Homo-oligomer: A and B are copies of this chain.
Amino acid sequence: MTAPLHEARPTANGRALPDTQQGMRRRNLARVMHAVSAEGPLSRAAVASRIGLTRAAVSTLVDELVRWGLLEELGPERPSRVGRPGSALAVSGSGPCGIGAEVGVDHLAVCAVDLRGEVRARAVRHGANRGRAPKPVVDELSALVRRVAADAEREGLWPAGLAVAVPGLVARDGHTVVHAPNLDWHGTDLGALLPADLPPTVDNEANFGALAELWLGDATPPDFLHVSAEIGIGAAVVVDGQLLRGKRGFAGELGHVPVHPEGPDCACGGRGCLEQYAGEEAVLRAAGLETREEAVLRAAGLETREDAVGLLARRAGEDHEGVRRALHDAGTALGIALTGAVNLLDPETVVLGGALAGLAPWLLPSLETELAGRTTGPACPVTVSRLGPEGPLLGAAHSVVRAVLDDPATVAERV
């Protein structure tokens, strides 16, 4: 899954760099940033040896990165190290930061992450967004963004970009929400509603959740399938460390893989889709608990996703027979759908994230039984994300940070 030799290599933000001296310099700036980000603090000599350039070449690049405020010098290294002491370089804790935002069905959240990957400011607002028009929701989100940006600026940071996670299909243009059934938003240009001073990127929450797992997870490999849930079930496919987006940007719709082809009708137009067996509504109904739809009908209860997941986890922990059976059956359906996905994609691992992470103890046994029972040889291992529902928000903020690390020269014109 590598670009042909003769094609110019696009950056994280999709622009192709020409294969010229200037392009080479920009790529080498990125190599220095990534080396220090991954292993710093490092001396110039250590950076040079890691990326295979001369110390003189690295020094020129480092001087530029320090001038732009992306790297900082910590002073001489400790004398215990071998060789002539050099000034240790670290990624700057001030300078550009990434603003991540999340439109949830029951909440809005925004955070600022610095180049070191630390969350430096955040804000959350609870309240149902389902069925509300996009504009008032985005206006509230924009107010949170401004508050978080102001907090970050007080800490010496400036926002390099804004990335917004939404529970729905997003076009590859990076700003149009094509279909978000649980918000009832369709064909919404979110980019036009967001603050104009911060060029925003909009993406599916499952995609940002998977990227968070790739960048922040515990030893997450570069080839994996990330399965998550808010109300629907989403997935994202990561291959060689890159997100597989699909032609229209709609890849990863695991929730609409047929599990029992003659099963119940699904809103997607299909029948017997995974969501009919393992989606939140289906599990609550199978467990004999009140569904979100029923709660909305009597205008009460189950206001947030955490409530539904928390309720299921609590009842399962209390040995509630109906809940346990419902989660067991949901795990079986997940295992069948994942067998197909694993056969198609051959990932190194499957990661359960989002709301599914909190239910993993009750989903995993039947899920793994299906996956192992339908495979010759070792079954694909299934792990549980430690990021859980935090994944999409963190992934959004980190996507802005990664874009700076991947092409540091883009900030030059802004400092």
Identify the A interface with B (CB < 8 A): 1-6, 9-12, 17-19, 24, 26-28, 30-31, 33-34, 52, 221, 223, 235, 237, 239-254, 256-261, 267-271, 336-337, 339-341, 343-348, 373-376, 406-407
**Which B residues lie within 8 Å of A254 (CB)?**
343-344
Taking a contact as CB atoms under 8 Å apart, the answer to whether A237 and B344 are in contact is yes
The CA-CA distance from A5 to B6 in the complex, in Å, is 15
**Which B residues lie within 8 Å of A261 (CB)?**
259-260, 336
Taking a contact as CB atoms under 8 Å apart, the answer to whether A375 and B3 are in contact is no
* A257 partner, pick from B12, B249, B343, B348, beta carbons under 8 A: B343
Contacts A24-B24, A343-B257; A12 near B3 (Cβ below 8 A) = no
Taking a contact as CB atoms under 8 Å apart, the answer to whether B235 and A344 are in contact is yes
Taking a contact as CB atoms under 8 Å apart, the answer to whether B17 and A9 are in contact is no
**Which B residues lie within 8 Å of A376 (CB)?**
267-269
* A2 partner, pick from B3, B31, B237, B251, beta carbons under 8 A: B3
Taking a contact as CB atoms under 8 Å apart, the answer to whether A24 and B19 are in contact is yes
Contacts A251-B344, A268-B376, A348-B247; A406 near B4 (Cβ below 8 A) = yes
28 contacts between A and B (CB under 8 A): A1-B244, A2-B9, A3-B3, A3-B9, A3-B242, A4-B30, A4-B241, A6-B33, A19-B31, A24-B24, A221-B247, A223-B246, A223-B247, A246-B346, A250-B346, A253-B346, A254-B344, A256-B343, A258-B339, A260-B260, A268-B374, A268-B375, A268-B376, A269-B374, A270-B339, A340-B340, A341-B344, A344-B344
Taking a contact as CB atoms under 8 Å apart, the answer to whether A19 and B12 are in contact is no
Of A9, A259, A340, A347, the most chain B CB neighbours within 10 A belong to A340
Taking a contact as CB atoms under 8 Å apart, the answer to whether B27 and A6 are in contact is yes
**Which B residues lie within 8 Å of A10 (CB)?**
2
Q: Say what secondary structure dominates the interface of chain A.
A: loop
Taking a contact as CB atoms under 8 Å apart, the answer to whether A258 and B336 are in contact is yes
The CA-CA distance from A249 to B223 in the complex, in Å, is 12
**Which B residues lie within 8 Å of A247 (CB)?**
221, 223, 346-348
Of A235, A240, A248, A407, the most chain B CB neighbours within 10 A belong to A240
* A248 partner, pick from B18, B19, B34, B346, beta carbons under 8 A: B346
Taking a contact as CB atoms under 8 Å apart, the answer to whether A31 and B3 are in contact is no
The CA-CA distance from A337 to B27 in the complex, in Å, is 42
Taking a contact as CB atoms under 8 Å apart, the answer to whether A12 and B1 are in contact is no
17 additional contacts (CB under 8 A) given A237-B345, A251-B345, A270-B339: A1-B239, A2-B9, A2-B10, A2-B242, A4-B12, A5-B406, A6-B27, A19-B31, A244-B244, A244-B345, A247-B346, A253-B346, A257-B344, A258-B336, A258-B339, A260-B260, A270-B373
Taking a contact as CB atoms under 8 Å apart, the answer to whether A252 and B5 are in contact is no
Of A1, A24, A348, the most chain B CB neighbours within 10 A belong to A1
Taking a contact as CB atoms under 8 Å apart, the answer to whether A9 and B1 are in contact is no
User: Shortest Cβ distance from A369 into chain B, in angstroms?
Assistant: 13
**Which B residues lie within 8 Å of A251 (CB)?**
344-346
**Which B residues lie within 8 Å of A340 (CB)?**
257-258, 337, 340-341
User: Shortest Cβ distance from A76 into chain B, in angstroms?
Assistant: 27
**Which B residues lie within 8 Å of A243 (CB)?**
1
Taking a contact as CB atoms under 8 Å apart, the answer to whether B374 and A258 are in contact is yes
* A34 partner, pick from B6, B235, B373, beta carbons under 8 A: B6
Of A249, A257, A336, A376, the most chain B CB neighbours within 10 A belong to A257
Of A30, A237, A256, A374, the most chain B CB neighbours within 10 A belong to A374
The CA-CA distance from A1 to B326 in the complex, in Å, is 37
**Which B residues lie within 8 Å of A30 (CB)?**
4-6
The CA-CA distance from A54 to B106 in the complex, in Å, is 57
Chain B residue, CB-CB nearest to A2: B10
**Which B residues lie within 8 Å of A248 (CB)?**
346
User: Shortest Cβ distance from A330 into chain B, in angstroms?
Assistant: 14
Taking a contact as CB atoms under 8 Å apart, the answer to whether A339 and B9 are in contact is no
